[in-house]
Amino acid sequence: MNKEKYLAKIKKLLNLAKHSTNPNEAANAMSQAQNLMREHGLTSIDIDLMEINEAGSKGAPSHAQAIPKYMGLLADIICRAFGVKCYMTFKRNYYTTAQRQVIFYGPNERPQIAAYAFDVLSRQMMKARREYTASMRKSIKASTKIARGDTFCEGWVIGAYQVIKDFTVTDTEATLITAYHRKLQKDIGLQSGDMREAKKCRGADDAAETGYRAGKDASLLHAVNGTDSQPALIGRS
């Protein structure tokens, strides 16, 4: 039996000990849970962290080694909207090159919804970027188009944040999320990294403003609110 199965069994026993109306049954369940915890070197924090789930995005707007600032900003506003945290990694398999993936973690089903929202807004942002860069004169250098496109995306995310409501995280949830973050630092060496900002270029201010206006039209549809008739309000307070 692996650690996760032991944790699940211990959690079940603790739940029985807490809610059983039979004093003997409750005491026996608590004793079994404590014995299992001692036997396998598990703590109450290990049990509590079972409330934290993970979910990964299906894709990402960039698969570069240096994460562009707009991608980090987008992940951040999704975390704010759904009361979760995230980290970025590479998804690897034998048939394709490594691809970026954002892993969201937090209580209940919120990481799954956050991962979905990230994918939806990523597609909207990159579609808007393609339309924006397609409108540029053909004589503009490729490097300038890329710089303006990156700046556009940074503005787009700032615009999208205007239609997002931050999720109110309880103190208990915040404590668990922080504890899970520390566990990730210990288990997989998780650490923060620098984001690559858009390069300076002519027309950067216009690109940022155009992106900002486009981002304010961001929306999530039926997979969040269960209907495709109305855009979802992203996040809640």
Segments making up each domain of the chain, as ranges = 3-42, 54-235
CA dihedral 203, 204, 206, 212 (to 10 degrees): 160
User: Cα-atom radius of gyration of the chain, to the nearest Å?
Assistant: 22
User: For the chain, what is the largest distance between any 2 Cα atoms, rounded to a whole number of angstroms?
Assistant: 82
pLDDT value of position 114: 96
- Distances from the Cα of 89 to the Cα of 4, 233, 235, angstroms: 23, 28, 24
- Sorted by sequence, the CB contacts under 8 Å of residue 107 that are 6+ apart come out as 51, 52, 53, 83, 173, 176, 177
Tens digit of each residue's pLDDT, the chain (237 residues): 577 788 888 888 988 998 999 989 999 999 999 998 888 888 888 888 988 999 999 999 998 889 999 999 999 999 999 999 999 999 877 777 888 999 999 999 999 999 999 999 999 999 999 999 999 999 999 999 999 999 999 999 999 999 888 999 999 999 999 999 999 999 888 888 889 999 999 999 999 999 999 999 998 754 454 443 334 445 444
pLDDT value of position 179: 94
Confidence (pTM): 0.83
pLDDT value of position 221: 56
- Sorted by sequence, the CB contacts under 8 Å of residue 58 that are 6+ apart come out as 115, 119
pLDDT value of position 222: 40
- Sorted by sequence, the CB contacts under 8 Å of residue 70 that are 6+ apart come out as 61, 125, 150, 153, 154, 156, 157, 198
CA dist., res. 167 & res. 83, Å (int) = 5
CA dist., res. 216 & res. 172, Å (int) = 33
pLDDT value of position 236: 44
